[in-house]
Structure 1
């Protein structure tokens, strides 16, 4: 099958990943190619050169439009509109069997576009104004929408989802996140370091619990880092940097608990299943899809309640490590995810024919 994979272009689709969306697109391209598909990655031009890349923009827009300039930036909107408009035109003329759209841009889901090439659109975020109404108007026979959790489905369609929408859980390659049978009694946190990921809450709770904690991830919001996270470092609390997958998996495997602190309606929580695959039970704020994803592999505290999270860290450490691993093996493997993607591709092709 000839597949156009249309990615978000804020960051490179390359390791070390800035977040779950970049990881999703990279592993999707890698997995589909391994299954024999002809995949063209429409992404930022500075993405991983191992893939066949058709640039939406020459370089990821974080480099051109820094963090502080993202919201409501007319030049950025014009830049992205021009890039995605041209990319959609190239896809329409490129002989593709299907598009998998991870872009979060309005152009690829226009009915005139999805009528040209059957499209599967994966929504990785809760509904927001800039995209919400375009999604609602995008239903056509050759367009299927996916969300990453039941919680996210209810957020997008509180009155009931359309027939052309379904839950498509994320999946990971278990070989990339090897199971480790025991930990060193420390905690680990990983993610984009930004307020809605709650990094400072993880630090405060670990200190209260008396458990060493290492933070990993990109410092996305430097002001938040400087004001609320960096001053808390020291002693048993350290920052371990922004690591590629193999190095991060090794660090994860050494720990005994993963701390997950979403402060928004988290649609899935890819880092949680990566940690669980390594054998780490999870201590989590009960936000978004956390309980749906983590299940018996963790314990939960009310959102923003640091004292309760500290208790939860200690409780989660008592969960057998194989419990967390087994949940990922049953529900969130890469093969299961890719099987579902291929089935959706076949479905939209058949309906559009």
Structure 2
């Protein structure tokens, strides 16, 4: 198949990844290419040059509009709209069999676009007002919607999901996150260091539990880093930097416990399954899709409760490392995920013939 992968453009689609959406789009394009598909990645122009790349905007959003995500800045909205509108036009004229839409733009959801090219849209976020109506209006033949968890499906469609919407769990290649049969007694936390990821709560819970903790990730929210995270470093709490995939996997695999601390309704939690593949049980806030994804590999605490999370750390130590690894092998592998993507592409192509009228 000739496939257009349309990505979010807040950050480059290139390692080291700034977050799960960037990792998702990169692994999607790479995995489909490895399966013999003709893939064009529509992303920021500073994304990974190893792909056949068609630039939505010349440089990623944070390079030109730093810190403006979700602010409604008219200049940013106009910049993104112009980029996505032109990219959608190029996709429509490009002879693609299907487009996999990973953007957060409303434009690829429009019926006049999905009737021209069969579309699969993957929703990586909970519903929010700027996108909700457009998602609901886009439910037509030729357009399939996927979400990453059953909790996210209920959030987007509280009155019941339409047949075009389905759960497709994210997946990873376990070879990228090698299993370690024992840890060094420490904890690890990974992710984008921002308030809604709860980095400061992971630090406070680790101190309460008396366990060493290493943080990894990008420090894109400078004010949060300076006020809530950096002052709490020292002693057994350290920052290990923003590492490439192999280096991060090696560091994670050495630890004994992974801390997962979402302060929002996290739709999936890719970092958790990466750590689980390495063999780490998880101490987690029970929020969003955490329990659905982590399951028997985790010990849970009420949201934002650092004292309860410290207790969960102790309980997580009793969970065998093999339990965490085996759960990923059963449910969250790269191949299972890509198989699902290909099924949805075929369904979208069968549902809607480009050019046919739709309701």
Name the TM-score class by shorter chain. over 0.9
2:357 is matched with which residue? Answer: none
1:152 is matched with which residue? Answer: 152
Q: What's the TM-score, normalizing by structure 2?
A: 0.98
SS in 2 for 1:258: strand
* Cα offsets for 1:106-132 (capped at 9, x unmatched): 000100000000000000000001100
* Cα offsets for 1:45-81 (capped at 9, x unmatched): 0000000000000010100001157511100000000
Q: How does 1:157-306 map to 2 (within 5 A)?
A: 157-306=157-306
C-alpha separation in 2, matches of 1:263 and 1:156: 19
The answer as to whether partners of 1:2 and 1:38 remain within 8 angstroms in 2 is yes
SS in 2 for 1:182: coil
For structure 1, the residue ranges without an aligned partner over 5 or more in a row are none
C-alpha separation in 2, matches of 1:257 and 1:167: 28
The answer as to whether partners of 1:70 and 1:76 remain within 8 angstroms in 2 is no
C-alpha separation in 2, matches of 1:186 and 1:170: 27
Verify: 1:133 aligned to 2:133, yes or no. yes
C-alpha separation in 1, matches of 2:102 and 2:260: 24
Query: What is the root-mean-square deviation of aligned Cα atoms in Å?
Result: 0.7
Q: What's the TM-score, normalizing by structure 1?
A: 0.99
* Cα offsets for 1:82-119 (capped at 9, x unmatched): 00000000000000000000001000010000000000
C-alpha separation in 2, matches of 1:57 and 1:41: 12
Q: Return structure 1 stretches of 4+ with deviation > 4 angstroms.
A: none
2:339 is matched with which residue? Answer: 339
For structure 2, the residue ranges without an aligned partner over 5 or more in a row are 354-359
How many residue pairs are counted as aligned between the two chains? 353
| Deviation at residue 190 of structure 1 after TM alignment | 0.4
C-alpha separation in 1, matches of 2:69 and 2:36: 40
The answer as to whether partners of 2:68 and 2:76 remain within 8 angstroms in 1 is no
SS in 2 for 1:67: coil
The verdict on how the C-alpha distance between 1:69 and 1:29 changes in structure 2, with shifts beyond 3 A counting, is: closer
2:143 is matched with which residue? Answer: 143
The answer as to whether partners of 1:43 and 1:55 remain within 8 angstroms in 2 is yes
